[in-house]
Structure 1
Amino acid sequence: MREVKVQPSVGVWDSGVGGLTVLAALRRALPGVPMHYLADSAHAPYGERADAFILERSLALTDHLIARGARLIVIACNTATAVAADALRVRHPGVPIVGIEPGIKPAVAASRTGRVGVLATTATVNSPRFARLLARHAADARITSVACSGVVKHIEAGDVDSAALRALIHRYCEPLRQNAVDTALLGCTHYPLIRPLWEAELGPGVQLIQVEAAVAQQAARLWAGTMPPEEVGGLRLSSTGDPGVLAQVARQGLGWLDVQPTHERI
């Protein structure tokens, strides 16, 4: 049997379509580098799942991408990073693994008043990793953390502008308004896909912070030490769920009109 050659790539995965915001930043930081994005939409959202389930899926997705040529892994999911990043580094010590986590430090630094809101999933807000970030970086800032249950589910369904979603956004932004935050951190990679809804609800006096660029810069530094700069290739998008939703978000949200996502059963 002839051996199938796999192209070295950057493997990127998320619980669903939200990690496309990270992928976009990665493509800007590493133009021309082959990338494989995997959305676990069949099992999204992770934010309300048990830690054991999130860990199991994280191991399976990472193993799958590495088997298909990934030489660097980006976990484009705050929830999965909080639960599984350490275990993945133990399992794959020879593969650089970049996680994403709520940017408490840059949000606090950007705030004029020290009043910062954090919008994230239930699993992220309740994770020990998030508690450690607050202890390390919140300093004297007043942090209002809100677990935004249900938002990711709407985005994964391709529903990005319904009355039901707007009602959720209104409810979750209310504590931020009550506490007069001047800075709000979008602590889930799905949330920038509906950035206009957050902006409309919080108003022009509140600046929104997201951390995809910092993740991409870290990945670019690691890739430079992993693969030769001449390694170039295309973009592959795949989903464990309906690839049509992934295509819709990539085309409408990011303007990637020529993408053809495929389905993968993992």
Structure 2
Amino acid sequence: ITWITFLLGTLALVGTPFFSGFYSKEHIIEAAGAAHVWGASFAYYATLIGVFVTSLYSFRVYFLVFHGKERFDTSDHGHGHGHDAHGHDDHGHDDHGHGHHGGKPHESPWVVTLPLILLAIPSVLIGAWAVDPMLFGKFFNGVITVLPQHPAMHELHEEWHGWVAFGLHAFQTLPFWLVVAGAVIAWYCYLINPKVPAAIKSSLSGVNKVLENKYYVDWVNEQIIARGLRCLGRGLWQTGDRGIIDGFLINGSARVV
């Protein structure tokens, strides 16, 4: 159950045709491509890159978790050793417990699998039902207003022929093949030839360092912005509060009196 629901969720997340995620993602991409405002072209190509990257990391997780090399101890050595030592002293009991550590994974109980099933169903079905009324119907009337100078959604509406035709047409579009490319590359790099990611990481160590440090956004925030604001706060406190208010206005006036 965990395997199939994870796979269905992955297919929806990457925007596979006829899955729920496909209808929203595809319309975002097409709306960006049809828009005439400044920056729309950048947004369009950025979403295409996002399609590929999303497929790559989503299928990477799927293949590593469910089809990759086993990372748990499947041997019976530790378990048997625990039983042999159990009759001799208390240390045998400790070894027995150690033998059970990292055992073979098993299916989760219903408190986990039931929510997975309930989440998987709409991830497959709800998109086909909701796309027409939500995007081109009256579902958001009075909530979302599209100005006349932004006709992208109106142009998409003119070419809308239903969710089936839209899904079938997607197999001919670039986003679909970017999804396929991401899945195939993830399959090759993490199942067929796992040495490829290590080689790429080694050859692009600078890029890898930037990515591992999350573009240094946290460092800039903590070391420059936050530290600068703390220094500013201390300066205002020392100069304004202690120097001017306490030292001059309060204590200074008291000394004069």
| TM-score under structure 1 length normalisation | 0.22
Report the structure, 1 or 2, having the larger helix content.
2
The TM-score with structure 2 as length reference comes to 0.22
